[in-house]
Structure 1
Amino acid sequence: MLGIDHIVIAAKDPAQSAQLFGETYNCKIVKGGRHENWGTFNYLAYFRNDCYIEWLGIFNEEIADQSDNPLIKQLVVAFEENREGPIQYALRTEQMNPLIERLTKLDYSFAGPIAGEREKPDGTNLQWRMLFPESESVFPFIIEWGKQKNIPNDREYINNTTIQEIQDGLIDLEEFEKITDISVEGNNIPLRNGKLTITSNNKLDFTLQD
C-alpha cells in the first residue's frame, strides 16, 4: 500500500519559509542538505506518522536549469512564474520494481527510476530513487528509500503532529487508478498513513492534525 512520504514546497529562501511555517504551526524545523547534481537544497519538518514537508530551493541556477529530473524542472518553472508554495508530493512504496513492470506492461510512459542522494548534516549518506509517471496533469511521483528512510537521527526533531490529508485538485482520478492499480470509491483515497482527497479547486494543499 502506498503511503504519504513528503510534500514539496517551492521556496526561494527555504530557511526563511520553513522558519515561518514552524513559528506559525509550532513545528520543529531541521536543515536538510544539498543535492549537488541538481543544484538544490532543502529544509525539513518531520511528523509522527512517518512523513515530512520539504522546502526546496535552488543554490545553483545553472545546474538546476540543466537538470532532467522532472521535479527540478517543476521547481524551475515555478520560480520562473514567481510561484512559491506546494508544487508536488511523493507517495512512498517499498515495491518500485513491480510498479515499473506494471507500467511497462501497460505501455505507460514514465521517467526513471532516477537515483538521488545527499549528505545529511551528520555526514551520513541518504539514498533513494524516484519514478515519475508521465501525465497531462500534475501527478505525484513515487519514491523508494534505500537502506534508511529520511528520518532525523534525533527523534526529538519529529513533531508530535501528523499530515492527516493531502488535498489534490490537479490530479486525474481515473489516471491515478490506472497507474497505481488502486480502486477508488468517491474522492477519498486511503493511504498507509493518511488519505488523499481529490478536490475541484485546482490547488495542492494539505492538513495537519495534532
Structure 2
Amino acid sequence: MTLYFDHIIHYVNGIASIDFPNHHIKSIQGGKHTELGTYNQLSYIDLHYIEWIDVFDQPLAQSYAQTEEGRLSFANTFKVRDVCEGFKRICLRTNDIHKVKEHLMQFELDVVGPIEMSRTKPDGTVINWQLLYLDDDSDLDLPFIIQWGESDEERKSALKAYFHHDLSIEGVTVQVKNIKKTSENWQSWYGLVVLEEDEQYVNLGFTDDNVVITLEKNNDEQYTTLSLNSSHIKKETRTFYKGAYYLFKPNLHKH
C-alpha cells in the first residue's frame, strides 16, 4: 500500500479575499461542492496543492455533516459556530482506495467510504474522485484518503500550467498530545516511516514522496504549519496568513 501527500485544506472566511502576502502563492478558481455547501480555490505547487475552502451555504454544510457520508467530512467542521480560519486537515492520495479501506479495517477505527464525489469546474467540465475518512478517539481530524478519477500523469498534464515551479512543499507540522502513540498509529495506518525523532517531535516520511509530516508535542491538537522550499527567497520567512503559518525556506538548488 503506497500513499502520497495530496493536499492540505485551509479554511478561509471569505474566499474571494485570498491575496497571499508578497504573492508567494497564487490561486486559481476551483468550483462548488454543491452537495456540501462549500466552494474552493486551489494553489497547485505541483501535484501537491493547497485547497482554500469556504462555505457558501452553512445550513447545507451542517445538514450534510449529519449524514452517514458527511459525518467525518470537512462539513463536520461546521457542527460548531464561529469556526476559526486555518489548516483543518491533510489528504493522502492512493491508486487503490478499496485496498486502503481493507487495510484500515484491521484497526479500531471509524471508517466511512469510499464516497463518490464530483464538482463542476468554471469551464463546465466535471472532476470525479473518491474519498475515505477515518476517525479515532483523538481531537485531531485525521488525514483522509483520496483516489482521483484520472491518473497522476493525466492530472499533471492538465494542471502543469498552474504549477509553482519556484516552490516545493517540504512538510506539514502537526501538534498532537501523544507523539509516540500518534507516530505508531500513523506508521501502521498510513505506512509512514520514522525519519528522525526525539522527545519533542517525530519526522515521518512517505515511502515514495518527499513531503515530511512533523509531529510536535502540544495539548492543542491541530495542523499548524506548511513548510515550502522557494528559489526566490534568500532567507527563511515565516508568514501567518488567515489562521495558519507558512514557512518559506530558501532552496538554492532549484532554478
> TM-score band (shorter)?
0.7 to 0.9
Equivalent in 28, 45, 51 of residue 54 of structure 1: 51
Q: Does the aligned pair in 1 maintain the 2:48–2:169 contact within 8 Å?
A: yes
Aligned to 1:166: 172
Q: Does 1:31 pair with 2:32?
A: no
Q: Does 1:197 pair with 2:211?
A: no
Q: Specify whether residues 190 and 182 from structure 1 end up closer, same or farther in structure 2 by C-alpha distance, changes over 3 A only.
A: closer
Deviation at 1:180, TM superposition (A): 2.1
Once the two structures are superposed, residues 136-182 of structure 1 have per-residue CA deviations (whole angstroms, 9 ceiling, x without a partner) of 22211111111256668463321121111011113822221232244
Once the two structures are superposed, residues 171-199 of structure 1 have per-residue CA deviations (whole angstroms, 9 ceiling, x without a partner) of 82222123224443531111214111111
Which structure is higher in RCO with an 8 Å CA cutoff and minimum separation 6? 1
Q: In terms of Rg, which structure is larger?
A: 2
Q: Specify whether residues 116 and 143 from structure 1 end up closer, same or farther in structure 2 by C-alpha distance, changes over 3 A only.
A: same
Summarize the alignment of residues 104-183 of structure 1 with structure 2, pairs less than 5 Å apart: 104-106=105-107, 108-137=109-138, 138=140, 139-147=142-150, 153=158, 155-160=160-165, 161-170=167-176, 172-183=182-193
Once the two structures are superposed, residues 25-84 of structure 1 have per-residue CA deviations (whole angstroms, 9 ceiling, x without a partner) of 422210100000101000111113x21101111111121011132233343146x23400
Matched residues, percent identical? 27
Q: Does 1:20 pair with 2:3?
A: no
Structure 2: segments with no counterpart, 5+ residues: 231-255
Q: Specify whether residues 182 and 158 from structure 1 end up closer, same or farther in structure 2 by C-alpha distance, changes over 3 A only.
A: closer
Aligned to 1:86: 87
- In angstroms, what is the RMSD of aligned CA positions? 2.2
Distance 1:75 1:14 in 2: 17
Number of equivalenced pairs: 205
